[in-house]
Amino acid sequence: MKHPLVLRSRGPEDPGHGAIIATLERVLADIPAPESSRADLPEDAARAIARRAAKRAAVLSGSLALPPGPLGFATLLPDLYLIWHTQRQMVSDIFGVYGRSAELTRTHMLYCLFRHAASHVVRDVAVRGAERLVIRQLSGSALRRALGGIGVSVSQRLAGNAAGRWIPLAGAAAVGAYAYWDTTQVAKTATRLLGAVEPVTTEA
């Protein structure tokens, strides 16, 4: 029986676009409750949350990248899911320390997770208002189109980095370092958004 998170790639050039989109849909299916409460110094609390999440992401991703060759390719989707799952909870917790959990939607989550890695896909989600950003809430069809574009970007990145899966220790270290950096970028987007976002949303 095939496991839904085991990537069966036909080669480094085919990292499983459809499976990546399915994984994205799972990640964005619901918004997790925050494991944090409103903080007196939300920026400091957000930085602490980001550091913990980045370390966790690095350990998870680096560990899953240890198996070499085909076994390493089999861990690609579990790796993506666990990293996105960690980042999703981090974003929720950051919104929590700012006391703005009620504003967090799937579109906010999409923007925070992929603003740095697929800016061409999510650039129209946040638009500049008179003084602050306005988050345009995506309809179901628009969200699916955005996920398709993100899936292409992720597939291309995985294909470009596939060689690292054949180098057990050095490859795992590089994968873990990228997961750490990627998670810190997600945290920066979330904190910047909370400092600039206008609590008004429009349908797209």
Nearest CA-CA partner of 198 in 133, 147, 153: 133
pLDDT at 188: 94
Please state, as a whole number, how many other Cβ atoms lie within 10 Å of the Cβ of residue 199.
Answer: 10
Whether residue 79 is contained in a domain is answered as yes
Whether residue 25 is contained in a domain is answered as no
All residue ranges of the chain with pLDDT < 70 are 1-16, 67-74, 118-136, 139, 158-170, 196-204
Whether residue 28 is contained in a domain is answered as no
Whether residue 182 is contained in a domain is answered as yes
The residue segments making up the domain with residue 85 are 55-203
| Rounded Cα gap, residues 162 and 69, in angstroms | 9
Nearest CA-CA partner of 80 in 147, 121, 35, 19: 19
Whether residue 187 is contained in a domain is answered as yes
Hey, which residues does 202 pair with through a beta bridge?
136
- The sign of the torsion formed by the CA atoms of 147, 30, 185, 9 equals negative
pLDDT at 125: 66
Backbone angles phi, psi at 126, to 5 degrees: -105, 120
pLDDT at 122: 64
Q: Identity (one letter) of the amino acid at 12?
A: P
Whether residue 43 is contained in a domain is answered as no
Whether residue 176 is contained in a domain is answered as yes
Please count the structural domains in the chain.
Answer: 1
Q: Please tell me the pTM assigned to this model.
A: 0.77
pLDDT at 183: 96
Whether residue 194 is contained in a domain is answered as yes
pLDDT at 121: 64
